[in-house]
Amino acid sequence: MTVTLADVAARARVSPATVSRVLNGNYPVAAATRERVLRAVDDLDYVLNGPASSLAAATSDLVGILVNDIADPFFGIMAGAAQTEIGGQEGTGRAGGEKLAVVCNTGGSPERELTYLTLLQRQRAAAVILTGGALEDPGHIVAMTTKLAKLADAGTRVVLCGRPPLPGSDAIVASLAFDNRGGGRRLTEHLLTLGHRKIGYVAGPLERTTTRHRLEGHLAALAAAGLGDPASGEGRSTGSGEGRAGQEGLVVHGPYSRRSGYEATLELLRRAPDLTAVVAANDTVALGACAAVRDQGLRIPEDVSVAGFDDLPFSVDATPALTTVRLPLYEAGARAGRLAMGTETPPPGGIATITAELMARASTAPPRATR
44 scored as a contact of DNA (CB under 7 A):
no
Q: How many residues bind DNA (CB under 7 A)?
A: 30
Which is nearer to its own copies, 45 or 170 (by Cβ)? 45
56 scored as a contact of DNA (CB under 7 A):
yes
Which is nearer to DNA, 97 or 273 (by Cβ)? 97
Question: Which member of 10, 16, 44, 98 binds its own copies (CB under 8 A)?
Answer: 98
Which is nearer to its own copies, 33 or 330 (by Cβ)? 330
Which is nearer to its own copies, 60 or 247 (by Cβ)? 60
Which is nearer to DNA, 10 or 352 (by Cβ)? 10
193 scored as a contact of DNA (CB under 7 A):
no
Residues 284 and 260: their CA atoms lie apart, in Å, by 9
Amino acid symbol at 225 = A
Binding mask 17-36 toward DNA (x if CB under 7 A, else -) reads: xxxxx-xx--xxxx-xxx--
The DSSP line for 244-273 is -STTTT-EEE--SSHHHHHHHHHHHHHH-T
Cβ at position 90, least distance to its own copies in Å: 6
Query: According to CB under 8 A, which residues from 279 to 318 bind its own copies?
Result: 284, 287-288, 290-291, 294, 313-314, 317-318
Residues 332 and 351: their CA atoms lie apart, in Å, by 13
Residue 127: partners with Cβ closer than 8 Å, 6 or more residues away: 63, 64, 99, 156, 157, 158, 159, 173, 340, 341
232 scored as a contact of DNA (CB under 7 A):
no
With contact defined as beta carbons under 8 Å apart, do 136 and 144 qualify? no
Cβ at position 325, least distance to its own copies in Å: 19
40 scored as a contact of its own copies (CB under 8 A):
no
With contact defined as beta carbons under 8 Å apart, do 249 and 231 qualify? no
Binding mask 99-138 toward DNA (x if CB under 7 A, else -) reads: ----------------------------------------
Contacts made by residues 37-43, CB under 8 angstroms, sequence distance 24+ = 37/8, 37/12, 39/12, 40/8, 40/9, 40/11, 40/12, 41/8, 41/94, 42/94, 43/11
Q: Can you list the alpha helix ranges (DSSP code H) found in 273-343?
A: 283-295, 329-341
With contact defined as beta carbons under 8 Å apart, do 171 and 153 qualify? yes
314 scored as a contact of DNA (CB under 7 A):
no
Contact partner at residue 369 from its own copies, DNA, none, CB < 5 to 8 Å by partner kind: none
124 scored as a contact of its own copies (CB under 8 A):
yes
Amino acid symbol at 250 = L
Q: Is the N-terminal amide bond of 346 cis, ω within 30° of 0?
A: no
For 55, 191, 263, the CA distances from 312, given in Å and listed in that order, are 42, 20, 21
Query: Residue 113 carries which DSSP code?
Result: H
Count other Cβ atoms within 10 Å, centred on residue 369: 6
Cβ at position 97, least distance to DNA in Å: 10
Query: According to CB under 8 A, which residues from 217 to 256 bind its own copies?
Result: none
For 79, 157, 202, 327, the CA distances from 205, given in Å and listed in that order, are 22, 29, 10, 19
Q: Which residues bind DNA (CB under 7 A)?
A: 2, 4-6, 13-21, 23-24, 27-30, 32-34, 48-49, 52-53, 55-58
Q: Which residues bind its own copies (CB under 8 A)?
A: 2, 45, 47-55, 60-62, 64, 69-73, 76-77, 79-80, 83-84, 87, 90-95, 98, 100-105, 107, 109, 111-112, 114-116, 118-124, 150, 154, 258, 284, 287-288, 290-291, 294, 313-314, 317-319
